[in-house]
Structure 1
Amino acid sequence: MFGKRKSFDYRYDQAIELMEESKVDSLIEKGIIIRNGRYLEIEDQLLSFFEQILDVNEEINISLITEHITLLKENIDYYLAEDSEHRKYKYLKSVKGSLRKMGFICLRNIVDLNRNIDNTFKTEPNYKVKIKKLENYDQRRIDIKKLIAVTEQFLTEDELTFFATAKDDELNHVTTELRLQLQEARHNLIETEKQIIDFLNQVKHQSKLIEKIRQVKYLKDQFELESKSDIVKLLNKMNPVAFENRPAFPVKLSLDILQDDDTYEIIKALSKKIKSTVKLKVPLAKAIDETFFNDTVETDIFIDLEKMKSSFTASGYHLLDFVNQYDYPKEVSFEEIVTCYCQLISLYENDFRFTDKYVIYKGTEFSVIYPK
């Protein structure tokens, strides 16, 4: 179920195959699993927990650092205003806990940010979306950088009275550890910035190159490439040598090597191979059959999907009934009918209305689909 969390394609009947139906229903009642029709999903808090534990979290949660800074200021104010040593220790303990969490959260966000940047650059197919995502991640980087500066100012300027008053060795250790983590985070953000700039430059260059290739292809398809561009002039200026034969330069042996007896034996052996009188007979190919020179005509009947879509829009049937009753120009098998069903959905998805109903036909489950 966790592996299919993004596709939302885990069904209730799949779950009851793995465990008893009563146990599945119990998980749904307790809110651990959420049922949405015939599909199941993991509850959001549990899903976030699993993603963080397995290092696959894609959400950059910067607000946690701001919340901890606010909580720190509140507990410090309580500490400075409190007279009871017992209650002071309680507030001091909360401050130390928040300081520990801030460094970890900051480094965790940078790790998630770098992973998301790398995944976006490698897997996002749409260039415009890829550029926007990378720019948004760059803004997240700037936000983290600002929060690091706010945290450092908090430690060195804003709360000097508290850190001077609270004489606690563990607090000094936690504060030092946090400063080191913030320094590491700042260095990591420098590498993140370089990576984003490099990726954006690559994506924009590739996008411009593809756009130019599309323009050239369009002009070529319209037979206007030579008249509306200077491609002939540019090609005449080029002198490509990629397809020329590479020259082979003979290696001349030095006199010292030629005077060696072992070299002499090698030269004699090579000379015998070159002077070999064995003649290889190259087999002749058979004469070409005259039937290959005769003109042949092949005809094939194809199914017009555009015509099928127009007929389906006017039919009033749902898609499975329609493809079964359609008058095809040739005899078709069940597999070909299923192929037409799938091709119509793929090509004209925006023109169809999908329902939650399903029908089973010849052992196969089909979705009930109507024209809009």
Structure 2
Amino acid sequence: MPAFQSVDQLLLELGNNKVRRIIDMLFKHREVSFDLMVDMLDGDEKFIRSLIAKGVLVSEDEDKVQLDEQLMSFLEGFMEIRDDIQNFEIDARIKGIKRRIRLYFLEDDISEKDKYVDKIKDELKRLGKVIRRNVIDLSRLVMQDYKTADNPEVRKLKIQNHNEKADKLIELIEALEGILKDDYFFTAVQDEQLNRLANHLRHDYLKPARTNLLELSQEIVAFINRIVYHQRIFKKLMKIKRLRDHYELEKYTNIEEVLAQDRTLFMDTRPQFRTRPSLDHLRSDEGYDMILKLAGKQQHRSQKLIKAGEVLDLDMINTKPVIEQRINYGSIKDKFISSDKDLFSFIMDFPFKVETPFEERTKVFCKIALLYESEMEFSAEKEDRLQLNGKEFAKVTPKKGNKSKSKATELVMDSDVN
């Protein structure tokens, strides 16, 4: 923001009551129409245009107003806020990307075209992260609410709310896939980084997210049906209990007749009964086939008993101890943060107690990068990518400020890592 020459000037401007109201609204809704912003400030259009001139607000087409991208990123990073799909304005984000694509074709200035492409790439990256984080959180919350909610109605409402979030996520995925299918735009831009980003989104973000959401939707339907069934059983039990407490159970129901005919108990194991076939059935062709089948099973069982009694050759027994590797990802992450290497090089050189091949080390690299994504920085630049055994890996480094290790981590023994 070149309009401000010092931090004091910037803080004074942002501390203004009107500016705080504007930032709060745009932080929640991401984008607001220019006319709505003027109405909120009682027609003070001049004040809004002054904020646009200072770089606090951005208005690309004189119709929509947004917060400056640097200011928005600072607020989200400082508050550790992630886009929640429940409050996420899908149409606004998708329309924003489509509007920039149209402006790209209408613009004649090459530098302005490049700015539109950069903003589109930033928005696509952001949407990919939003989808992945919300799918992970949604799967965790569904299981958590189903297991921890005591009241069946509360549990059902929470599960249904998660189902609505899953539907919105699918809607966002479909909208984003529609943009990525715009071959005319990607062919016209001819940006290698943009094409690589589009392929990365399709195969590493959208496709796995869609698969996980379909599986999650099936689980949600099964959970809801199970909750409804338990509610129906619970209501019947409560009705029986109420009648019993008022000594009216025998009077208004046929409980004695039902219990006299059915002696099964709730939660009892299913009884199994043996039925002996008749002699007439055994003399038939079907009975003969059944006898042959049972005789074959009996003969197979006797052969197993004979083999079990044979003396084993001790030379065929492997007496060497088998060492099983159990990886402590948290300990490895802490050691990586205190090192000066990138994550891939660190994992490739890590001294595991058991011999670990390249494929297993690659799995550990991916696992740590996904589990501790908030503590890592991912470089998307082509020159930063690492190549080994014909595969390409992103450069992952610790975020600044994560170099210090906790005391609890220092107490972890090396034996815990392997």
Output the TM-score relative to the length of structure 1: 0.48
